[in-house]
Amino acid sequence: MKKYVILGWLVIVLGLGAYAEGKVDESAVASADGETSYAFGMMIGSNLKELGLTFNYNAFMQGMKAVLEDMSTTLTMDEAISKVQIAYLEAMNKQTEEAMAKEQAFFEENAKKPGIQITDSGLQYEVITEGTGPKPVLTDTVQVHYRGTFIDGTVFDSSHDRGEPAEFPLFRVIPGWSEGLQLMSVGSSYRLYIPSELGYGEQGAGGVIPPYSVLIFEVELLSVMQNTEDAASDE
């Protein structure tokens, strides 16, 4: 029974990547059952499309109908589970390879731009404005204004949009932030180009930041708020 439940969740997570041709049968969708079924189709379709799988819509419908109507199937449920898992892993591996290649290409090209500096960790940054105040250390809490974007320019987070600066201890943020902010003096504005290994890595974050994402932050260091005497005890 557990395997059947796993398959059900895998199908929902994977979704449906291709759509039937022709117009929507509005009369079929109009009923309560129809709307619910259509909603499942949309959700499944959206998720499988994101995976980029090559998908046979007719075969999918035959398999679903066979199970729902207790018809004979060409695969056992164990075989179906195995094929779904393999397809899912292959799609995820392909996405990972493409994302890593895109990240590498970005940093190689970005490094050639005037004003780009690179640290030993691979963090790239450029100075927009150099301040004259003190520099924070890892145990400090800082106040900053920032805007975070992906390499296509999409904004995923911004203290400016919220209308107030952010405050946080440097030891509690991603390594790219911790390192980058310690390079800055109060009053500085830097642009940080953070590789995924100094950001959210292969996991991404909260459905907002995909795995292996390059993060670009334009950061203004407003002040060093306080010193935390024992940062390690709070980690």
Closest CA to 121 of 79, 180, 168, 81: 180
Give the domain CATH number at 150.
3.10.50.40
Residue 88 is a catalytic residue: no
Highest mean pLDDT among 2-6, 53-57, 60-64, 136-140: 136-140
Same domain, 115 and 43: no
Same domain, 121 and 216: yes
Q: What is the largest CA-CA distance in the chain?
A: 75
- Domains in the chain: how many in total? 2
Question: Of 146, 190, 193, 212, which is the active-site residue?
Answer: 146
Q: List, for residues 1-53, the tens digit of each pLDDT value.
A: 444 444 444 444 444 333 344 445 555 555 667 788 888 888 877 777 777 77
pTM of the predicted model over 0.95: no
Whether 99 maps to a domain, the answer reads no
Residue 19 is a catalytic residue: no
Question: Of 57, 107, 116, 157, which is the active-site residue?
Answer: 157
Q: What is the mean pLDDT of residues 156-181?
A: 95
Same domain, 78 and 120: no
As a whole number of angstroms, the distance between CA 31 and CA 215 comes to: 45
Question: Of 88, 156, 168, 171, which is the active-site residue?
Answer: 156
Decide which of 41, 66, 94 is a domain's last residue.
94
Q: At what angle do helices 77-110 and 2-14 cross, to 10 degrees?
A: 40
Residue 212 is a catalytic residue: no
Same domain, 137 and 208: yes
Question: Of 81, 116, 151, 174, which is the active-site residue?
Answer: 174
Same domain, 216 and 161: yes
Question: Residue 63: which domain range?
Answer: 2-94
Whether 103 maps to a domain, the answer reads no
Question: Of 55, 190, 193, 200, which is the active-site residue?
Answer: 200
Task: Give the pairing type, strands 140-149 and 155-158.
Answer: antiparallel
Tell which wins on pLDDT, 54 or 83: 83
CB count in 10 Å sphere of residue 116: 14
Percent of the chain with pLDDT over 90: 51
Q: What is the pLDDT of residue 28?
A: 54
Same domain, 52 and 146: no
As a whole number of angstroms, the distance between CA 181 and CA 218 comes to: 11
Compute the chain's Rg from CA coordinates. Answer: 24
Residue 171 is a catalytic residue: no
Whether 104 maps to a domain, the answer reads no
Same domain, 79 and 157: no
As a whole number of angstroms, the distance between CA 12 and CA 10 comes to: 5
Residue 44 is a catalytic residue: no
Locate tokens 């449906």: which residue? Answer: 16
What's the Cα-to-Cα distance from 70 to each of 62, 171, 185, 205, rounded to whole Å?
12, 56, 69, 40
Q: What is the pLDDT of residue 137?
A: 95
Helix, strand, coil tally for the chain in percent (to 5): 45, 20, 35
Q: What is the pLDDT of residue 30?
A: 57
